């Protein structure tokens, strides 16, 4: 007669299984997403996870996806970003890529704009991207990898009363083009992605100067910001932009510059053909100036 055998599982068995999972996670290709707490960055993290990649987030507020490990940093503060990227490198075996989604926007006339504000904007939009790229280069040079910086159609065509944002995105585009030349010998592919209006909470985080701060530009700014908000909220979804980002990251020969959506591709192509006066006229109409 056979004896009944009781199978038991110790806590140590569970611990070993969890440790094994952690080890396997660290062996995956890992993407660093700067700004995955919301919007385009969040949707990008979601799709990268769906592709089987490991994802870590760097932002001031955490990403709510439980599979994403969060690291807190302010891209505009000291060496906070660099220190966190170095920490991630120590904890993950294979850092394969960087996606930079952090951004800041402000509606203000050039005449009255605060230096503190526009310097902060450039710290987030341009210098943050530069520092992220710079910190990741020594890591990616070991095995090659991918970098995508989220820019904007605003870097091709000026946004009325958001001149600093447009300027920072134009600077980012040129940074990426230069980085691509330098890093190609190390099998590091660099791309800039240019969404147009995108429906996210970014619209409602924009810093808009009030009437007292804008003086005689007040009514023009109100029209421009209202037109921009409508353009964004009726535009592409964050998920659609994220899909384009992940497709770019996974392409064998990713494009250097990519516009999101058919209309934006057409608009970018038209901008190369049409006279500057014509595109300037169109922009004035878009922002009701």
Closest CA to 148 of 173, 182, 111: 173
- 9 located within any domain: no
β 188-194/257-259 pair status: parallel
Mean pLDDT, residues 66-72 taken together: 96
Task: Tell me which of 111 and 15 has the higher pLDDT.
Answer: 111
pLDDT, position 22: 54
- 274 located within any domain: yes
In this structure, are residues 181 and 73 in contact, taking their beta carbons and an 8 Å threshold? Answer: no
- 15 located within any domain: no
pLDDT, position 9: 45
- CB neighbours of 260 closer than 8 A, spacing ≥ 6? 193, 194, 195, 196, 198, 236, 240, 241, 244
Q: Is the pLDDT of residue 12 over 90?
A: no
Pick from 11-25, 187-201, 223-237, 274-288: least confident: 11-25
For residue 188, report the phi and psi dihedrals to the nearest 5 degrees.
-105, 115
pTM (2 d.p.)? 0.88
Number of domains comprising the chain: 1
pLDDT digits (tens, 9 = 90+) for 158-176: 999 999 999 999 999 999 9
- 17 located within any domain: no
- 233 located within any domain: yes
Query: What CATH number is associated with residue 53?
Result: 3.40.50.720
Q: Is the pLDDT of residue 244 over 80?
A: yes
Structure tokens at 41: 């960055």
- 189 located within any domain: yes
For residue 285, report the phi and psi dihedrals to the nearest 5 degrees.
-70, -40
Q: Is the pLDDT of residue 7 over 50?
A: no
pLDDT, position 230: 94
pLDDT, position 28: 82
- 117 located within any domain: yes
In this structure, are residues 68 and 47 in contact, taking their beta carbons and an 8 Å threshold? Answer: no
Going by pLDDT thresholds of 50, 70 and 90, the confidence category of residue 14 is: very low
Q: Is the pLDDT of residue 147 over 80?
A: yes
pLDDT, position 176: 98
- 11 located within any domain: no
Q: Is the pLDDT of residue 6 over 80?
A: no
| Owning domain of residue 239 | 24-286
Q: What percent of the chain lies above the pLDDT cut of 70?
A: 91
């Amino acid at each position: 007669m056979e004896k009944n055998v009781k199978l038991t599982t110790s806590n140590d068995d569970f611990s070993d299984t969890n440790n094994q999972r952690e080890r396997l996670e660290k062996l995956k290709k890992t993407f660093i997403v700067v700004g995955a707490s919301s919007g385009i960055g969040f949707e990008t993290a979601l799709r990268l996870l769906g592709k089987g990649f490991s994802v870590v987030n760097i932002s001031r507020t955490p990403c709510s996806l439980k599979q994403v490990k969060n690291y807190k940093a302010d891209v505009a503060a000291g060496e906070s970003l660099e220190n966190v990227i170095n920490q991630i490198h120590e904890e993950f075996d294979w850092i394969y890529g960087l996606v930079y989604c952090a951004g800041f926007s402000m509606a203000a006339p050039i005449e009255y704009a605060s230096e503190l504000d526009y310097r902060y904007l450039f710290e987030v939009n341009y210098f943050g991207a530069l520092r992220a790229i710079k910190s990741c280069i020594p890591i990616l040079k070991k095995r090659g990898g991918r970098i995508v910086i989220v820019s904007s159609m605003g870097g091709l065509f000026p946004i009325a009363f958001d001149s600093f944002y447009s300027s920072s995105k134009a600077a980012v585009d040129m940074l990426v083009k230069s980085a691509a030349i330098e890093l190609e010998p190390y099998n590091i592919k660099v791309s800039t992605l240019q969404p147009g209006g995108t429906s996210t909470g970014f619209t409602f985080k924009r810093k808009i100067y009030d009437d007292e701060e804008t003086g005689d530009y007040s009514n023009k700014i109100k029209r421009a910001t209202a037109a921009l908000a409508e353009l964004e909220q009726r535009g592409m979804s964050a998920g659609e932009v994220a899909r384009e980002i992940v497709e770019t990251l996974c392409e064998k020969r990713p494009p250097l510059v990519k516009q999101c959506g058919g209309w934006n591709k057409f608009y970018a192509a038209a901008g190369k053909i049409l006279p500057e006066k014509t595109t300037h006229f169109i922009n004035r109409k878009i922002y009701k100036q």
